[in-house]
Structure 1
Amino acid sequence: MPEVIEVNDLATLKGRDLGSSRWLTVTQEQISTFATLTGDEQWIHVDVERARSGPFGDTIAHGFFVLSCSTGLLYELLEVRGASQILNYGLNRVRFTSPTPAGSRVRMNLRVLDVTEVSGGSQVLFALTFEREGQEKPVCVAELLFRYYGQAS
């Protein structure tokens, strides 16, 4: 169940850990589709046979694929009610710290670093940490900015 909060109360989340998302299995089909959509069809992502003898022993997901899951997973963890508009405003400090082989299970941990006022709303700075099941080192760490505007009419 997501944390549910009214748009005017976002500041109360500052410094809070909002928990972990569900586990997602990263499939070769998803990796290959992402490769086609982005034009990044490097063999380490899409050539299963060649990747078996590569540095990771398997194909790996694009770091940006893992990161792109953040918005949907954020909505699993936080529901902001009463906003007239919600915008993904950008990213800070993105690092892909270890590979995500095909078949891996990952989940996102979410923490609210800061909440600041902006014209007409609030900007929330989230810390994202994507972990891979069975591995201590995260696969991705990033800061994500969302903007939540006004009251819905």
Structure 2
Amino acid sequence: MRIFSNSAELIAATGSEIGASDWHLIDQRRIDMFAETTGDHQWIHIDPDQARQGPYGATIAHGYLTLAMGPVLCGEIYRIDNVSRAVNYGLDRVRFLSPVIVGSELAARVTFDKVESIGPREVAVYSTVSFETKGGDRPACVASTIGRYYFK
């Protein structure tokens, strides 16, 4: 895990890959809980019998479930200390490039694309988060994220 203590350290990391998370199992229970939470009960996610006959031979995770794994996965990659608050400012671009089939293991890689000083104690961190499945030949999801951090 990389730990950043101030804006200068973040700025120095611009353009570099920060690291990768551990692998996390995406099992049917997690998919079902996400379906229940969001109300998205499409058969490709929650009906293993029907999904066996579908295009992937099994159920797949919701794209937004993959994206929602960002906080836990990124939390294993880096931490920013000495902040009074951190704000998820939003996303510039998200692409779902390949399915996350039930039973897959998911990890993320983070690159800090740009770190911008907003004020004396505030920075905006523009990152690319690439969500990968173990053994996959391309990312499941690539997201351009923006975080704002307010230092004490």
Partner in structure 2 of residue 28 of structure 1: 28
Query: Which SS does the other structure have where 1:58 is aligned?
Result: coil
Number of positions where the alignment pairs a residue of Structure 1 with one of Structure 2: 150
Query: Which SS does the other structure have where 2:135 is aligned?
Result: coil
**Residue type matched to 1:123 in 2?**
A
Confirm whether residue 60 of structure 1 aligns to residue 56 of structure 2.
no
Deviations 1:13-55 (A, max 9, x none): 1111112100011010000000010010100000110000011
Quote the Cα distance in structure 2 between the aligned partners of 1:78 and 1:7: 13
Partner in structure 2 of residue 111 of structure 1: 111
1:76-91 aligned within 5 A: 76-91=76-91
Deviations 1:60-117 (A, max 9, x none): 0001101111112112111111111011111111000010110001110110000012
Quote the Cα distance in structure 2 between the aligned partners of 1:70 and 1:7: 22
Partner in structure 1 of residue 15 of structure 2: 15
Confirm whether residue 145 of structure 1 aligns to residue 140 of structure 2.
no
Give 1:148 shift.
Answer: 0.3
Instruction: Give the conservation status (yes or no) of the 8 Å contact 1:86–1:148.
Output: yes
Deviations 1:120-152 (A, max 9, x none): 40000110111111111110011111110021x
Give 5+ residue unaligned stretches, structure 1: none
TM-score, L = length of structure 1: 0.94
Partner in structure 2 of residue 5 of structure 1: 4
Query: Which SS does the other structure have where 2:45 is aligned?
Result: helix
**Residue type matched to 2:129 in 1?**
L
State the identity as a percent.
37
Partner in structure 2 of residue 97 of structure 1: 97
Confirm whether residue 121 of structure 1 aligns to residue 122 of structure 2.
yes
TM-score, L = length of structure 2: 0.95
**Structure 1 runs (4+) greater than 2 angstroms displaced:** none
